[in-house]
Chain A
Amino acid sequence: MTDHSRDVAVVAVSQTPAYEAFAGPEPVLIMRCVNDLLSRTGLERHDIDFTLAGSCDYLSGAPFAFVSNIDGVGAWPPVYESHVEMDGAWALFEAWIRLQLGDIDVALVIGSGRSSPGNNREIFSLQGDPYLAAPLGLDPASLAGIQARSLLDAKIATEADFAAVVERSWKAAADNPNAMVRRSDTADQLLDQPYYAAPLRAHDVAPVADGAAALLLVAGDRARELCERPAWIQGIEHRIESHHPGYRDLTDSPSTRSAAEKVGGSGTFDVAELMITHSHEEIIVRHALGLGDDTVVNPSGGPLGGHPVMATGLVRVIEVASRIADGSAQRGLAHASSGACLQQNLICVLQGDD
């Protein structure tokens, strides 16, 4: 499909820091990103043809919470926009699809959320089947623990491997001004910590944060005009697996693999940003993607360094696009995920001009 696609690139990116608790309204987080993007590109609000945002009403406990988020975008005069109740990475997917139609060139993509008022573990247990799982309070961390143990039982990984993922992620996060975690524990120190959702420890679970992220997606020559080194989207696709863990091989992520195959996700990548919200998932996703040692994984620290829920997936794309923009990478892969145990996965492959 890459053969027939219209050339579309990420030309500018913006993200707020991952805040433990942002003391202001969500539209302000969005507004900061949007204003930043406009000032970086010299575009005006009316130059944006289409806007797509991803957020989750339940995070702040207000049905229709997404409605006020448009305040941060600007919607007067009226604008052409839409909203997905999904991570911003899926907003990027839909925006990319929309630009393929050829009649418009510039799309604004946003992901945002304020998790600090609520209890994510309880909120996201409501993602479970409402008859068989949610009444039990079966939550994503516990399901992640079940998945992590299936890796241990299958001798695919050890708890030390989980700790190593965290150690490396935190080390990388130390250099990321937008990361939330500022710690440098060694894997051995981490293994001394108590269990949280055994075999996972608290540090194996990405710390939720408030934050927003946004990018400008531009087609063809407009992209080259606006950016010295656009990050061209070679492909973007997503796939879902069964909702019921008993029907899945939890040690693998066939939906990740299949989405990557669809977008030409083989070959080598200089960088990969993976939406690892529980440390063991990195082992599964790396394997599904066939990533080798020549690919730098989560140089930003990834979600384990700060997880602005509903923006986290889009931040992965942003981190890859920035490395292509600054020339430190030529080809990169971004991964986003939704649901417990990596139920749904999105892959976006980005590439710079030769």
Chain B
Amino acid sequence: MARPCAVIGTGQTDYRKKLDLTLDGLVRWAAIEALEDAGLTFADIDAIVIGKAPDALEGVVMPELSLADALGAVGKPIHRVHTAGSVGAATAITGTTMVESGRYDRVLVVCYEKQSEGNATWALSGGKSGGQGAGGTFAPWIRSYIERSGAPEDIGWKVAVKDRQNALRNPHAHLRIQDISIEKVRDSPMLWDPLHFLESCPSSDGAAAIVLASEDVARKSPGKPAWVIAHAKRTEFGQFPGRDAVRPQAGVDCSAALYKEAGITDPLGQIDCAEIYVPFSWYEPMWLEGLLLTPINEGWHMTDNGDTEITGSFPVNPSGGVLSSNPIGASGLIRCLEAANQVRERAGDYQVDGARVALGHAYGGAAQYFAMWIVSSDLQPTYR
């Protein structure tokens, strides 16, 4: 039967372009930092799970094979997850189930992408000319959201500014735009109408790692554990007659299942902050709705009112989010990791005051893969 699992260590590389590291060096940076945080060494780890987006992004097939030595996996199980953009969160969940199953006490989860080695738009196009990129896929749905909700056009700009301002507090963040402003976002080149350049995520190198542990191990760990209260995943087809890509049912179902498992009845009131996968600005209001935090077509009011700012009533992406750092395969794990660090009171300059319950969220593919978790400073949180 499922037993408790906690995050007891986290590690992140800086998220930049062209970090002068091998892939081995990249994953080791995050892994060693996570182990040190947990007060453990590679030798203490029972199993390793790695996640990343398509192998073609770095041109290394099944990289768990060539990274096994670097991650101290020799003589141990090493498992590899790939669920497109949601993979980081999916990998965290796989690692969690390995602990919850009772089978392993200490699991190291590592996700990475070194986007500078290849090119994501090339990969998304299957290596052909004319690739429209992720932005080209999502832009029409964003336009449709704007039309349906009647949201003013500056909502996207506000998200872009808020997340970049948050990033200035995060030493790992890739984009650090000191003079970020509404005007600067608005005046940046239009990439995929209605998305401007500064409303889009960067392409980053980076790795993130967490150490997951059973209750016994977590109670003895040097830092404060973040207990995994609930996790959920849902998938739907990317294209089929009857699909609403603006509000994918898989995301709605996933959220409902997540809150049910966590015993959350009023997510907006009972969750203290969230790290949501927002690679393009408008996905903040879209996912606020998709996560059942607001009624349909009303998510943008939260952004507009400043509720999602770090000092707001429901801080979203205090770390700066995917809009500030996007090592694709790691981005979902970073959301889960940052949520954990908030409830561990380890979020440094972007710590949300009094965060006890936090949400980590990722999505992928044609907004069709969803993976989420709820972490808390309490093993059995009492909700407001």
Contact = CB atoms under 8 A, between A and B. Distances in A.
B190 interface: no
Contact of A101 (B65, B101, B233, B237): B101
Given A70-B235, A77-B253, A80-B234, A102 B1 contact: yes
B74 A240 contact: yes
A93 B254 CA distance: 23
Interface string A1-43: 1001010000000000000000000000000000000000000
A338 B79 CA distance: 11
Given A4-B102, A76-B236, A242 B69 contact: yes
Nearest to B238: A67
B101 A100 contact: yes
Contacts of B346: none
Given A239-B76, A244-B69, A64 B2 contact: no
Contacts of B368: 67, 75
A63 B57 CA distance: 8
B84 A240 contact: no
Interface in B30-62: 54-62
B103 interface: yes
B182 to A, nearest CB: 35
Contact of A339 (B65, B81, B83, B249): B65
B334 interface: no
A6 B243 CA distance: 38
Contacts of B140: none
A330 B253 CA distance: 42
Contact of B68 (A79, A80, A237, A240): A240
Interface stretch (A82-90, A194-202, A203-211, A312-320): A82-90
A129 B70 CA distance: 11
Contact of B82 (A84, A102, A237): A84
A244 B74 CA distance: 11
B82 A66 contact: yes
B129 to A, nearest CB: 15
Contacts of B54: 57, 63-64
A94 interface: yes
A126 interface: yes
B66 A103 contact: no
A286 to B, nearest CB: 21
Contacts of B124: 63-64
* Interface size class, chain A: 35 or more
Given A56-B61, A127-B62, A130-B66, A75 B101 contact: no
Nearest to A1: B103
Given A64-B124, A85-B62, A86-B62, A78 B234 contact: yes
Contact of A243 (B2, B68, B80, B83): B68
Contacts of B109: none
Interface in B81-103: 81-84, 90, 93-94, 97-98, 100-103
Contacts of B240: 76
B97 A130 contact: no
B171 interface: no
A127 B61 CA distance: 5
B75 A241 contact: yes
A130 B1 contact: no
Given A63-B126, A82-B83, A101-B101, A130 B236 contact: no
Nearest to B250: A78
B75 A239 contact: yes
Interface string A254-287: 1100100000000000000000000000000000
Nearest to B371: A82
B22 interface: yes
A107 to B, nearest CB: 12
Contacts of A63: 54-57, 123-124, 126
Nearest to B237: A75
B232 to A, nearest CB: 8
A97 interface: yes
Nearest to A132: B66
Nearest to B233: A80
A248 to B, nearest CB: 9
A127 B77 contact: no
B81 A84 contact: yes
B73 interface: yes
Nearest to A344: B65
A103 B261 CA distance: 11
A85 B66 contact: no
Contact of B66 (A64, A79, A94, A127): A127
Interface of B: 1-2, 22-23, 54-62, 64-69, 73-84, 90, 93-94, 97-98, 100-103, 123-124, 126-127, 232-238, 240, 242-243, 248-250, 253-254, 257, 365-366, 368
Interface of A: 1, 4, 6, 56-58, 61-64, 66-68, 70-71, 75-86, 90, 93-94, 97-98, 100-103, 123-124, 126-131, 133-134, 237-244, 247, 254-255, 258, 338-340, 343-344
Q: Which 9 A-B pairs have the closest CB atoms?
A: A63-B54, A78-B250, A100-B101, A85-B82, A101-B2, A63-B56, A126-B61, A102-B1, A63-B123
25 contacts: A1-B103, A6-B1, A57-B56, A58-B55, A64-B123, A64-B365, A67-B238, A71-B237, A78-B254, A83-B81, A84-B81, A85-B55, A85-B62, A85-B80, A90-B80, A100-B97, A100-B101, A101-B97, A126-B55, A130-B60, A130-B66, A134-B60, A240-B68, A240-B76, A243-B67
Given A67-B365, A93-B79, A239-B75, 6 more contacts: A63-B126, A75-B237, A76-B237, A83-B82, A90-B79, A239-B77
